[in-house]
Amino acid sequence: MPSVTRKAQATRQERREQIERRLLEATDRLMADGASITELSVDRLASEAGISRASFYIYFEDKGHLLRRLASQVFGDLADAAQRWWSVASRLDPEDVRVAMAAIIAAYRQHQPVLVALNEMAPYDPAVAETYRDLIAEISTRFEAVIVEGQKAGTIRPQLPPDITAHTLVLMVERTCQQNLPSRPTSFDTELADVLTEIVWGSLYLTNPAG
């Protein structure tokens, strides 16, 4: 019986993740067409995602709850992009940082409407604001571990406090993307990735990124 229960729980979790991903894609599409999160009805979101209104309310309390869950999905994609560098940070190749920055920028482009909605709602919805802070803190903690390892290896500046440094650089990248990408063409993205790479590498490492 316990195995049956666990299987049912796993199936429900998989179903929830599938619905969340479909709703994320639907929200991206609808908001990219100019709709705001406040204008989008549950019926329209559910229809665009190919689910019923009843299914929506099985998994989400309201649109605020949906936005918080979508934010988790989006920040998961951003963390996966950053992991392209973090997972190979020990080889000290600035190109790994550039690849990660390009992937982060691409993820922002893809999910820009949801990220805009998140930032718009955060000042007015305490739960959304808390989710935003928690997601930033989670990514910062993962980045902090990379900095600590680099300091142990003698490749990252030892005078940098890992927690403050990680949080500052994560916010820098997040705010830079948030403020610039909505008004810039995609041709800007390569230049931005190069600039962020130079700033991050120069802030952390004891070697020149051109070397």
pLDDT at 10: 60
| DSSP letter for each residue of 5-21 | HHHHHHHHHHHHHHHHH
Shared domain for 108 and 200, answered yes or no, is: yes
**Nearest residue to 201 (alpha-carbon basis) of 108, 92, 82:** 92
Q: How many CB atoms lie within 10 A of CB 149?
A: 15
Q: Helix, strand, or coil here: 120? A: helix
Q: What total number of domains does the chain contain?
A: 2
> CATH number for the domain including 14?
1.10.10.60
pLDDT < 70 stretches in the chain: 1-10, 208-211
pLDDT at 118: 84
Tell me the two tokens of residue 17.
Answer: 């993740």
φ, ψ dihedrals at 60, nearest 5°: -135, 140
Q: Helix, strand, or coil here: 127? A: helix
Helix or strand (DSSP H, E) at 60: none
Cβ pair 203, 169 in contact under 8 A? yes
Shared domain for 117 and 144, answered yes or no, is: yes
Alpha helices (runs of H) in 33-125, residue ranges in sequence order: 42-49, 53-59, 63-86, 94-121
If you ran DSSP here, which 8-state letter would residue 59 be given? H
pLDDT at 204: 97
Four-CA torsion 9, 19, 143, 204, nearest 10 degrees: 160
**Boundary (domain end) residue, out of 36, 60, 84:** 60
Shared domain for 115 and 188, answered yes or no, is: yes
Shared domain for 26 and 73, answered yes or no, is: no
Give the span between the Cα atoms of 122 and 129, in whole angstroms: 4
Tell me the two tokens of residue 186.
Answer: 């995609």
pLDDT in tens, 81-136: 999 999 999 999 999 999 999 999 999 998 888 888 888 788 888 988 999 999 99
pLDDT at 211: 44
Shared domain for 100 and 201, answered yes or no, is: yes
Share of the chain above pLDDT 70, in %: 93
Taking only Cα atoms into account, the Rg of the chain, rounded to an integer number of angstroms, comes to 19
Shared domain for 119 and 23, answered yes or no, is: no
Shared domain for 6 and 90, answered yes or no, is: no
**Boundary (domain end) residue, out of 60, 88, 103:** 60
pLDDT at 92: 94
Shared domain for 43 and 93, answered yes or no, is: no
Which structural domain range is residue 185 located in? 63-211
Shared domain for 70 and 56, answered yes or no, is: no
Shared domain for 15 and 119, answered yes or no, is: no
Shared domain for 78 and 178, answered yes or no, is: yes
Shared domain for 76 and 21, answered yes or no, is: no
